[in-house]
Amino acid sequence: KLYTDGPHLALFFGTAIFAFEGITLVLPLRNAMRKPSDFARKMGVLNMGMTLVTFMFLFAGTLGYLKWGEEVGGSLTLNLGDTILAQSVKVMVSAGVMLGYPLQFFIAIQIMLPNAIEIMHLQRRPFTGELLFRTIMVVLTLCIAELVPALGLFMSLIGALCSTALALVFPPMIELLIKRDDNKGPGAWLFTKNIGILILALLGFSTGTYESLTQIVLHFNEAE
């Protein structure tokens, strides 16, 4: 089908927003650039990177749906068979997750690290404390991921519940607050744009969270 109903559209919204997991690296990446002004220009790092990533997601998602239709799993790798090529793809995806996960986890670790080192009484050995804490957190999140029975539904829930705020709520609110202190104010276009984004975020948050929780409850009831 080329279209879907409202509940599935809400699940799609949460899953799509989940793809914004890398948004936490935007500011650190900009601050680390030699020329930060190149980050947000028309053909800069942000626009070119987001264009490439969006195309890759659309391409993979479209091919996956054309191949498996309604039977597509929460991750395309769940639908791959046991052939050598399929196993090679799974290995490459696993390697990508393994190498990229520390980057995605960087900001959260940096925030929690000072208190963690103090709790572990490793102030005199900060490098050991950081290495130990990173290992504990990676293993902990790995165990949580292994225990999740319905990966796609939980991805949609996290996307609607957390990623919506991170990608669609905080940025326009922060921009409005910053522009409010300017002499010219936010301007009609900027104000309208950010209010529209906030309305979309509220709609996606409420419908996506509700539908994800509903489907999770139904999934566990069917499992029983």
Least confident of 144-148, 189-193, 196-200: 144-148
- Amino acid 196: pLDDT: 92
Domain extent, residue 193, equals 6-223
The answer to whether residue 162 sits within a structural domain is: yes
- Amino acid 179: pLDDT: 82
Q: What number is the average pLDDT over the span 180-189?
A: 75
The answer to whether residue 213 sits within a structural domain is: yes
- Amino acid 195: pLDDT: 92
The answer to whether residue 209 sits within a structural domain is: yes
**What percentage of residues in the chain have a pLDDT greater than 90?**
3
Total domains in the fold of the chain = 1
Angle at which helix 84-104 crosses helix 126-147, to 10 degrees, equals 130
The answer to whether residue 1 sits within a structural domain is: no
Give dist(CA 150, CA 219) in Å, integer.
8
- Amino acid 171: pLDDT: 85
- Per-residue model confidence as pLDDT tens digits over 79-126: 887 888 888 988 988 888 777 777 777 778 888 999 999 998 888 888
pTM for the full model? 0.64
- Amino acid 199: pLDDT: 92
Q: In a 3-state reduction of DSSP, which class is residue 34?
A: coil
The answer to whether residue 113 sits within a structural domain is: yes
Buried b (16+ CB within 10 A) or exposed e, 32-56: eeeeeeebeeeebbeeeeeeeeeee
The answer to whether residue 29 sits within a structural domain is: yes
